[in-house]
A and B are shown apart, each in its own frame.
Chain A
């Protein structure tokens, strides 16, 4: 668990001519764990903080009677946050090293702001969880890890902060690392997905610079790990998913009959000649070309925005999905899902809403609330009356038209949907197709294999953090 996997070498890492790689990560932790200070430290030590920003922090620190600059001021942005000394909204931070560029979603740890953790986790390839070395793994750590697992964040780092305040005691660190690893593996992570690192954000130990005070720690510093951890694109052999965003029809003298389907590859890859099916209509055809303004491509992989030209003239519009013909998603207008409820007004059975999936938005009814996630005990409560702000629960969704859906655990992009208020357009919930609740037996970490015999194994299995 003091994992040294993937420290200095990353076999198979392809060359990326012309630039560095991008890693999207999220942070989560309790209010007093020093998360803003840790993020401030990463920015400060990677020299991503510029002189005028630093001057402003020095001035503000002096104004408040502090003797040393408070690095958390680098990241606490809104006036109300500075006044209250807490972080209330997801903030995005940017730093770079010669190897990688980082987009960091800094998510508030305060318990009523779980919705922000969900937001930050939805795009993260890795999450950094923070604990105070004096307190160890607390309830909120377990809850955050469960939410990160539910959202399919592929890798976790536990930063055991304030290690200086426990006298750099190896046994304290080892106990926390063991407890966290047991919890995370019970949630479906493998040890290769995890790293536990002893840090002091305030002093700088093992954040960017290796600490002289932790000779017993052989693993990478936090930044070394972020720079070298494998960045998976979606698995290359995942079946193609391509939501059509826009139909490009120039009708100009140079392109009188051009018809291209613009979108971003959501999963898998596509090449000319590929057999595809267009959903929900079910029409089959082949990909004739992959167009970009810079020329045709021989292949486009997940994440790439391109324009597909198809072999046959079909009636295709925004909202349709172009998918691998041999492995299409299922078409469903009635499915089970987990929702993270993000709105002030609660969800009750029978609610009429809109569901946005891919590039398609359809009317829907939340038919039934089957269970609610009990965050305290990491268990589930059957038949809740409602889901309130920050509740996570299992629901039945009925849509006005069939949607081409994948299980969230096998495809993050095409297994995800938004629940939107019909009247005022508010985003009500994050929806995950399939995706059972991350429940453990009364908060006690145990291997996922020892499943409840009453449930089918695939219902009991915890989320395996996919791409």
Chain B
């Protein structure tokens, strides 16, 4: 008797699809947190597969820092139109404009996303929020659950997290609480890229090598923009770069790369000596426990 052993991508896809369907079956108002980055794009792809031939039975939520790469916004709008998705946008600038948030001295808005995110979750009464977080990204995330319970303040409390047994997920929560759900928990960065290649998933162009005006700050190539920069001591150069993550433009750095297609990106990632967060996210470098602290505050 022969047995078919699924390869690891098929096993990971089946696991993620199972998670999407559990949430659709047990929650009233789920939403997919969508940044336009590769992980959230893969999430949308998996959600489309989970409910095919029906449409995805919940909307996307984009927390818009206003510091966007135009390519990413175009990509978002095309994706929404192509698949007839519903999109909710929470604009950080609306919170700054009416005084609920204040601009930081360094101009970075990544940390400012938390309040608009939580306010929007409350306003729309979302009870399950899908995120593209992966456990391989960072040490504090290695202990994250697939169903991660957040209290009414959106906070993650390590000691209140439930044990996750077999593939029986417990989504029970009290009114006002919600559950963050991470279908890509067991994927690595390389798995995501292999899956993008296998499934032929379109991504924003900035993931592939292109020429761009950039300047050097804290060892990263940042792009000029309304968020401040370059300073006088930061000369602008034209470089061939690509992005490994998509976030707030003020703190998301590019890496020098000539990878113009998926196979080249896979080769580059496989040979890379820096994690994607370490290479390109200034906000993770603040302290040894930076991510743990932000998660406790309600960040993803």
Contact = CB atoms under 8 A, between A and B. Distances in A.
State whether these chains interact: yes
> By CB atoms of chain B within 10 A, which of A13, A262, A412 has the most?
A262
Interface in B49-100: 49-55
B172 A425 contact: yes
A93 B135 CA distance: 8
Interface in B2-37: 2-15, 17-18, 21-22, 24-25
A145 B299 CA distance: 38
Given A16-B5, A78-B158, A115-B163, A52 B278 contact: yes
Contact of A304 (B6, B53, B272, B274): B6
A231 B5 contact: yes
Contact of B7 (A16, A307, A426): A16
B142 A91 contact: yes
Interface residues of B, number: 64
Given A90-B143, A123-B167, A19 B162 contact: no
Interface stretch (B187-195, B234-242, B250-258): B187-195
Contact of B55 (A250, A354, A424, A430): A250
B3 A19 contact: no
Contacts of B49: 292-293
A116 B158 CA distance: 13
A370 interface: no
A248 interface: yes
Contacts of B48: 293
Nearest to B138: A77
Q: How large is the interface on A (under 10, 10 to 19, 20 to 34, 35 or more residues)?
A: 35 or more
B13 A118 contact: no
B54 A252 contact: yes
Contacts of A119: 163-165
9 smallest CB-CB distances across A and B, nearest first, come from A425-B172, A19-B7, A52-B278, A77-B139, A250-B54, A22-B8, A305-B17, A293-B52, A305-B14
Interface of A: 12-14, 16-22, 50-53, 56, 60, 75-80, 82, 89-94, 96, 100-101, 103, 115-116, 118-119, 122-123, 231-233, 235-237, 245-246, 248-252, 254-255, 258, 262-264, 291-293, 299, 301, 303-305, 307, 318, 342, 354, 356-357, 359, 412-413, 416-418, 420, 424-427, 430
25 contacts: A14-B4, A19-B7, A19-B9, A56-B288, A78-B292, A79-B292, A82-B288, A90-B163, A91-B142, A93-B142, A233-B3, A235-B3, A236-B2, A246-B24, A248-B52, A248-B54, A254-B53, A258-B54, A262-B21, A301-B3, A301-B4, A412-B166, A413-B166, A418-B168, A427-B162
Given A52-B275, A264-B167, 11 more contacts: A14-B4, A22-B8, A50-B274, A92-B135, A235-B3, A236-B1, A291-B52, A305-B18, A318-B25, A424-B172, A424-B174
